[in-house]
C-alpha cells in the first residue's frame, strides 16, 4: 500500500521533522505511484530513480544532523520536483519531447533546475510536453500524448502537459513548466493546480530549450499558491547568464485591491460553465472587499493573430540550430507541428512578406502593451478566463490547427505584453473536470498576485485535490 503523500511544502517539512516519514519513504511512495499509474497518463518521459534516492539519502542525513536548521538553509528540503523536458539537466536525458533529441544528455543544468537543487528539492524525472513546447493539449509529443488524470479521455492542456498531469496525479509535489502563450496556465487550469507565468525578465531562461525567445518564460507549478510563491522565490532573479533578467525586490503593500474586468475576455465563445465559475469567483472577491471595474483592451482581439505571426518567426530561427551535425538526429525527425511552425515562420520573415506580416504584428504588439499598461494605471490586477472552455476530449481538435490555436486566446495578452499571470483552481464542471481563472498584474507584481490568490483560497477553505486513479 502506498503511503499518504503530503500535498504542500509545509506538510512535507512537518512530516519530516516529526519523523512521520523519511525523505527516502517519500521517494518510495512517489515512484510506486508513477510505476502503478503513469502507464495510463504518460506524464513522464524519463524517471530519475537513481538520482532521487541519492539526493534523498543526503537530505535525510541533513535532517538527522541539523533538524529544523536544515530547512532554514534548504527551504525546499525533501520536496520532490519534476521538470518539463525542455529544461536541460546535467547527466539526465533531455528531449524536448522530440525524436530529434531522443538521446541527448546535457553536460549542464538550467538555472531554474540548479536553484531548485540548491534549495533542497529532489528531481524525480523529466516530464512529457508538446514537442518543442508547440501545442495547447499535450498531443504533439513524439513520445505519445499525455492524458488528464481527472478523466483519461480528456487533454491535460499544453504545452506543459506532463507538468500539470503529474501534479494532479500526485507523482510529484512541485513541477516546472514554460509559458510562451499559456503553456503553464492552461495545464494548471485543466488539471486543477496552480501555475505562474512570471514577468518576462523575472526568471532566467538559461538552459531552457528556446521556442520563441521574446515570449518564453519559466513557470513554477504546484498544488497551492503558497508553494508556487516559494518556488518563485527560490528560482527568480539574475544569474549572469540571461541578459533580460532584472533585479527586483518583490513586495505587495496593498491593503485594498481593485480588479479590472476586460469586456473583451467575457464575450462570445466563452463556455457557460467557465463564465458561471468566474462570476462566482468575482462574488467571493467582492465579499472580501475587492472592488471591480469594467475595463477595455480593444486591441487584444488581435492578440492571438499577432502571436501566431511572431512566435513561428522566432521558432523558425531557434529550430535552425538543430541540424543533426553537432548533436541530435537529422531534421527528418521533426514532427508535423514543428514543420508547420518552421514553414509559417520562414514565410512571414521572407522578402516581400516581412513588412506585411511580421512588422505589422510587432506594431500591434506595441499597441497591446500600451493598452495593458494604461489599464494598470486604473486597477491593480485583471481577472480573466484561462481558456474559453473546460478540458476537451483527446483528438477533438487534433486535425484542426486553427481551433487548437484558439485555445490560447485568453493567454496571449500576458505573453505579448510581458506581464505576470497566475492560474488558480476554483472548482469543477458538472462532469468533474477542473475549472479555474487567471489574474494578471503589472510587470513585477507577482507578490500582489500571490496575495490575491491566497486571499481567495483562504476564503473558500481551499484544499488541494488529487485525481483518483
| Secondary structure letter of residue 228 according to DSSP | H
Q: Is 134 helix (H, G, I), strand (E, B) or coil?
A: coil
- Give DSSP secondary structure letters for 185-198: HHHHHHHT-EEEEP
Write out the three cell numbers for 320: 535552425
Is residue 360 part of the annotated active site? The answer reads no
SS3 467: coil
Q: Which residues contact 456 (CB under 8 A, 6 or more apart)?
A: 281, 284, 285, 288, 424, 426, 462
Return the C-alpha cell found at 179. Answer: 509559458
Q: What is the DSSP string of 395-414?
A: TSSTT-HHHHHGGGTTTHHH
Are 74 and 234 within 8 A, CB to CB? no
CA torsion 25→28→31→32, rounded to 10°?
-120
Please confirm, yes or no, whether 159 is among the known catalytic residues.
yes
Contact assessment for residue 96 and residue 327, using Cβ atoms and an 8 Å cutoff: no
Select which of 98, 109, 136, 159 is catalytic.
Answer: 159
DSSP assignments along 316-352, one per residue? HHHGGG--SSSSS--GGG--HHHHHHHHHHHHHHSTT
Beta-ladder partners of 141: none
Unique residue bearing C-alpha cell 525586490: 249
Please confirm, yes or no, whether 84 is among the known catalytic residues.
yes
What length is written for the chain? 469
With the C-alpha atoms ordered 146, 149, 155, 160, is the resulting torsion angle positive or negative? Answer: negative
> Which of 413, 309, 307, 299 lies closest to 358, judged by CA?
309
Give the integer Cα–Cα distance in Å for 270 and 279.
Answer: 12
Say which of 84, 126, 147, 223 is annotated catalytic. 84
Cell of 60: 535525510
What is the spatial distance between Cα 168 and Cα 21, in angstroms, rounded to a whole number? Answer: 22
Catalytic residue among 183, 204, 299, 421: 183
Cβ atoms 452, 381 nearer than 8 A:
yes
Residues marked active site are found at 84, 159, 183
Amino acid at each position: 500500500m502506498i503511503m499518504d503523500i503530503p500535498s504542500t511544502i509545509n506538510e512535507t517539512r512537518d512530516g519530516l521533522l516529526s519523523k512521520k516519514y523519511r525523505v527516502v519513504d517519500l521517494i518510495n511512495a512517489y515512484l510506486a505511484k508513477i510505476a502503478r499509474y503513469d502507464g495510463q497518463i504518460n506524464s513522464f518521459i524519463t524517471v530519475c530513480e537513481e538520482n532521487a534516492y541519492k539526493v534523498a539519502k543526503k537530505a535525510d542525513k541533513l535532517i538527522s544532523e541539523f533538524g529544523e536548521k536544515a530547512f532554514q538553509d534548504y527551504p525546499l528540503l525533501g520536496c520532490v520536483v519534476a521538470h518539463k523536458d525542455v529544461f536541460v539537466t546535467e547527466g539526465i536525458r533531455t528531449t524536448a519531447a522530440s525524436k530529434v533529441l531522443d538521446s541527448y544528455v546535457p553536460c549542464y543544468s538550467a538555472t531554474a533546475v540548479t536553484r531548485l537543487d540548491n534549495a533542497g528539492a529532489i528531481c524525480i524525472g523529466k516530464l512529457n510536453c508538446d514537442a518543442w513546447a508547440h501545442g495547447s493539449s499535450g498531443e504533439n509529443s513524439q513520445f505519445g500524448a499525455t492524458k488528464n488524470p481527472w478523466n483519461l479521455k480528456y487533454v491535460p492542456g499544453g504545452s506543459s502537459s506532463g507538468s500539470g498531469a503529474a501534479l494532479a496525479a500526485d507523482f510529484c509535489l512541485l513541477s516546472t513548466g514554460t509559458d510562451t502563450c499559456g503553456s503553464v496556465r492552461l495545464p494548471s487550469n485543466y488539471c486543477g493546480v496552480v501555475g505562474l507565468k512570471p514577468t518576462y525578465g523575472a526568471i532566467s531562461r538559461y538552459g531552457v530549450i528556446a521556442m520563441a525567445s521574446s515570449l518564453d518564460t519559466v513557470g513554477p507549478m504546484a498544488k497551492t499558491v503558497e508553494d508556487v510563491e516559494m518556488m518563485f522565490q527560490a528560482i527568480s532573479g539574475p544569474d549572469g547568464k540571461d541578459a533580460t533578467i532584472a533585479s527586483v525586490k518583490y513586495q505587495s503593500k496593498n491593503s485594498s485591491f481593485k480588479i479590472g474586468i476586460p469586456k473583451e475576455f467575457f464575450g462570445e465563445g466563452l463556455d457557460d460553465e467557465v463564465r458561471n465559475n468566474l462570476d462566482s469567483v468575482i462574488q467571493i472577491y467582492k465579499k472580501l472587499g475587492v472592488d471591480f471595474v469594467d475595463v477595455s483592451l480593444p486591441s487584444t482581439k488581435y492578440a492571438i493573430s499577432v502571436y501566431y505571426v511572431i512566435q513561428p518567426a522566432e521558432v523558425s530561427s531557434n529550430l535552425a540550430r538543430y541540424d543533426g551535425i553537432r548533436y541530435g538526429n537529422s531534421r527528418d525527425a521533426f514532427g508535423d507541428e514543428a514543420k508547420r511552425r518552421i514553414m509559417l515562420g520562414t514565410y512571414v520573415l521572407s522578402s516581400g512578406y516581412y513588412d506585411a506580416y511580421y512588422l505589422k504584428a510587432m506594431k500591434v504588439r506595441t499597441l497591446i502593451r500600451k493598452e495593458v499598461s494604461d489599464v494598470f494605471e486604473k486597477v491593480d490586477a485583471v481577472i480573466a478566463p484561462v481558456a474559453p472552455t473546460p478540458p476537451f476530449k483527446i483528438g477533438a481538435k487534433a486535425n484542426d490547427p486553427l481551433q487548437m490555436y484558439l485555445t490560447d486566446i485568453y493567454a496571449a495578452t500576458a505573453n505579448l505584453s510581458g506581464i505576470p499571470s497566475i492560474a488558480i483552481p476554483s472548482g469543477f464542471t458538472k462532469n468533474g473536470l477542473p475549472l479555474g481563472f487567471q489574474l494578471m498584474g503589472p510587470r513585477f507584481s507577482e507578490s500582489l498576485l500571490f496575495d490575491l490568490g491566497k486571499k481567495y483560497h483562504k476564503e473558500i477553505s481551499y484544499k488541494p485535490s488529487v485525481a483518483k486513479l
